Amino acid sequence: MARRKVLAFSAGVEAATGLGLLMAPAFVVRLLLGDELTGLGLVVARCFGVALLALSLTVWPRKEVTPQAVQGMFLYNAGLAIYLAWLGTGGHLGGPMHWPAAVVHGIVAALLARPAGKPA
């Protein structure tokens, strides 16, 4: 799969998640982590929503895919896949979208980790 498509997919999903965190943070957190969100957690979730929107806008592929966009989105997806897997395997947290999110982040990271120009 072309890196442009992988970046566009990932940026689109993260933009949607960011919007969800801005508009209904408790609902998104319940889906992903299976726990309630109150107080300062709502503030932090909305800040993360803004960060996801900024990341999505920054890495959205334009005329050419930059190494910085690939590296940034790789680091984000790999880090989140590892962290979500740790949360799930340790029995800490887990909502209905927890493992699907962890797997998708891992797949996107793997696709972005391949050297440029290699066939899919």
Mean pLDDT of the region 83-91? 86
Residue type, 80: L
pLDDT for 1 equals 57
- Residue-wise pLDDT for 7-53, tens only, equals 999 999 999 999 999 999 999 999 988 888 889 999 999 999 999 99
The model's pTM: 0.86
Note whether 12 and 118 are within 8 A (CB): no
pLDDT for 117 equals 56
pLDDT for 5 equals 92
pLDDT for 27 equals 94
